Amino acid sequence: MKNQFFSGLILVLIIVSCKSSYLKNIKQTGTKDDARINAIIYFTNSNRLLSNKFYIVYNCDETEDLFCFKFYKNEKSLLKLSDSIGGYPTGYFPNKHIEMDNKLFLWNEPNVQITKEIIDVMNKYNAIDSSYYKIPNYLPLVDTGSFKKEMCYFICKDNISKYRKKKSIWIDVEDYPIIDCFSEK
């Protein structure tokens, strides 16, 4: 009986230790970019949908108190023919990225140019159809596979360590969860 207790205790301590190790990287306050990084950290450490090598992270409508980020694996309409390296995306072609835990997270940031670096990183993760890669002034389609539902992370603006997540095909501002962003817990 004691052996089972100690085995269970060791297992609990290992799980708590693994969970708390990623929490050290979570920021309490910061910008929308910091909140996005927190959402990516939460996603990589708590999501069973994490099977791809790369994900598209969209900004969705904000509220007065919340940022919202959606994680997609399925996106086939990112390319606009007017997009080019050195230009600004006309649609949602990603122009920012972060690599975390051997996964690539891509997003579009307004007023940020598309760089050769982003194309090279996307190519490294096979997130880009490289058969079009060498054509000047042309960016290839990105196909991330099938993803039946998107995972949404809602992050408090005043305390970006507080969040809720929701799996959904479509979510509207009226469907956002209520989060007590100001409590001490």
- Name which residue leads in pLDDT, 182 or 79: 182
Cα–Cα distance, 29 to 115 (Å, whole number): 29
Closest by Cα among 152, 85, 154 to 119: 85
pLDDT of 77 strictly over 60: no
Q: How many CB atoms lie within 10 A of CB 179?
A: 16
What tokens appear for 85 in the block? 């390296």
Query: pTM above 0.75?
Result: no
Tell me the domain boundaries of the chain.
Answer: 25-171
What tokens appear for 165 in the block? 């997540």
pLDDT of 87 strictly over 90: no
Cα–Cα distance, 31 to 33 (Å, whole number): 5
Binned at pLDDT 50, 70 and 90, residue 182 comes out as: confident
- Alpha carbon separation from 72 to 12, 19, 97, 148, 180 (Å, rounded): 32, 24, 14, 9, 26
137-153 pLDDT, tens digit per residue, is 555 555 555 555 678 89
Q: Which of the 8 DSSP states describes residue 175?
A: G
- Does residue 72 contact residue 147 with C-beta atoms inside 8 Å? yes
Q: Average pLDDT, whole number, for the chain?
A: 75
